[in-house]
Structure 1
Amino acid sequence: MRLFHARGYDAVGVAELGAALGIKPPSLYAAFGSKAGLFKQALERYFTSDANIFGRALAEGGGVDAVIGRMFRLAARLYPARDGVAGCLVLDGARNSADDEARGLTAAARAASRVAMRDFIATEHPARADDLVDFVVIALGGMSAAARDGAGEASLAAFAAKADRTFRREAAEGR
């Protein structure tokens, strides 16, 4: 998971993955079927970890505005580079990948996240849920890309505060 997150799917070789797991490439293929099979497992683990900022924000409770604001703040804390890893694996792990399967895996994960956020937003803002989730997804994508480009926690936190205010204002317009 860490190798894919730090460098992206295409930049990590099977031999390097095997070495990180302490196994030879034939054993990697036997265990996961392919590099993409291992990537799928890494994405699933990532999605069920503390890196799932929507899941974490939601678990703390509150209404839509509170959860979305908390999610932006978590992204600002988690996306900046730490130990050579920045951004979001789901958003950036296969960006520009030449591998159709890897791109498909991240696209499916992004779609599942989008649906979960949209359905949650719809609990309070049904008429605006699609528009509001678009805002959230684009903001998070921008934050992840900015972090991968070197943006630090302070600038991401400032953006998160603005995104939170904008989300609340936009959500209120539909009430």
Structure 2
Amino acid sequence: TKAFGINPPSFYAAFGSKLGLYTRVLKRYRMTDAIPLGALLRHDRPTAKCLIDVLMEAARRYAADPDATGCLVLEGAHCNDKPAREAACEFYIAAENLIRTYVAMRYPQEADRTTDFMGTLMAGLSAKARAGYSLERLQESVLLAGDVLERLLPD
């Protein structure tokens, strides 16, 4: 806000509130920078391969901009501000539900466990990207996780 010559309350007021601004940012992130789960979770490809594609795309996106590493939604889910945390969690839960539904179509008995695993991996990739890990290091972790997914979900 200093660069614009305005104070934070005036800036947030333009969006209704600080939460209003954050919600708009989350919606824009979903449309422009979030992992395109709908395009990656395909029914004409093996389930494990599609989940690996999601993780590879996560690694790429989380490491793409050295000034904004990690995932806005996953990192926002740890926010101290309760309304902001709840806003981020809505997006996170929606993504988890999409993954769970996708896995359950072929592997209903593995849907919850696999969704938990994917959430853990994505949170870890985001945290490591924020810690400065290179794309190559993140992708190596995805390759290891991919071995597990292919054993768990053989198509």
| Range class of TM-score, shorter chain | 0.7 to 0.9
CA-CA distance at 1:152 after TM superposition: 0.6
1:18-33 to 2 correspondence within 5 Å? 19=4, 25-26=9-10, 28-29=12-13, 31-33=14-16
Q: Matches of 2:43 and 2:59 in 1, distance apart? A: 17
Structure 1 unmatched ranges of 5 or more: 1-14
Instruction: Give the paired residue count.
Output: 155
Measured against aligned partners, the alpha-carbon deviations of 1:88-119 in whole angstroms (never above 9, x if no partner) come to 00001352x33111111111111111111101
Percent of residue pairs identical = 30
Aligned to 2:147: 165
Equivalent residue for 1:65?
48
**Which amino acid in the other structure matches residue 35 of structure 2?**
N
- Please state whether the residue corresponding to 1:80 is helix, strand or coil: helix
> Partners of 1:171 and 1:27 in 2: how far apart?
49
Is 51-60 or 111-120 further displaced after alignment? 51-60
Partner of residue 82 from structure 2, selected from 94, 100, 122: 100
CA gap 1:81/1:110 in 2 versus in 1, 3 angstroms:
same
Q: Which residue of 2 aligns with 1:9?
A: none
Q: Which residue identity is paired with 1:26?
A: S
With the length of structure 2 as denominator, give the TM-score of the two structures: 0.86
Choose which of 112, 117, 138 in structure 2 pairs with 1:156.
138
- CA-to-partner distance for each residue in 1:119-139, whole Å, 9 max, x for gaps? 111111111100110000101
* Cα root mean square deviation, aligned: 2.7
The match for 2:30 is 47
Paired amino acid for 2:60? R
